[in-house]
Amino acid sequence: MMLTDHIRPENIRIDLDAENKTEVIEELAEVLGESSPDYDADAIYEAVMARERDGSTGLELGVAIPHAKCDAVSELSVVVGISKDGVDFDSQDGKPSHLFFMLIAPKTESGPHVQAIAKIVKMIKLDNFRSRLLKARDPQEVLDYMKKIEEGEI
């Protein structure tokens, strides 16, 4: 599975407006709802918030992977958000999160959802990955860089 097959440029927000965890999830759900009109942004938001109540998906190194299963989507969808200022996301290291990878999968699927999280975790450990995404000027640059990593070019 290629993670980047589930990310479209219109699902990447370079400069998040959000100032807290709730706003990040709301903004990313809206991005997905706008790019996929058949998807219910409110249902996506509620599903991700319910998952967050079970425990924060804020990792370390400035990365968070909010995710949920929800019947509001028909296939695995990934939304990428970037906040240069950072947002308190109750991360494991107590530091602000700057890179957000929100994954939404149908309740009937489990494999792609888990594989996608594993791929993201692997990518964020690469030396230049996080800084490169923070410096990206447009969504296509983010997607192209992630594709190069997945294809083994980096």
76-85 pLDDT, tens per residue? 999 999 999 9
> In angstroms, rounded to a whole number, what is the distance separating the alpha carbons of residues 100 and 12?
10
On the question of pLDDT at 134 being above 80, the answer is yes
What is the reported pTM?
A: 0.95
110 has pLDDT over 80: no
pLDDT for res 17: 95
Residue 90 φ/ψ region, left for φ over 0, alpha for ψ in the -120 to 50 degree band, beta for the rest: left
Structural domain total, the chain: 1
Distance CA 5, CA 67 (A): 17
Banded pLDDT at 94 (limits 50, 70, 90): very high
35-76 confidence digits (pLDDT tens):
998 999 999 999 999 999 999 999 999 999 999 999 999 999
The pLDDT assigned to 111 comes to 81
Instruction: Render pLDDT for 135-151 as a digit per residue (tens, 0 to 9).
Output: 999 999 999 999 999 99
d(Cα 143, Cα 12) in Å, to the nearest integer?
8
Domain encompassing residue 62: 3-150
Q: The domain spanning residue 33 has which CATH number?
A: 3.40.930.10
pLDDT at 70: 93
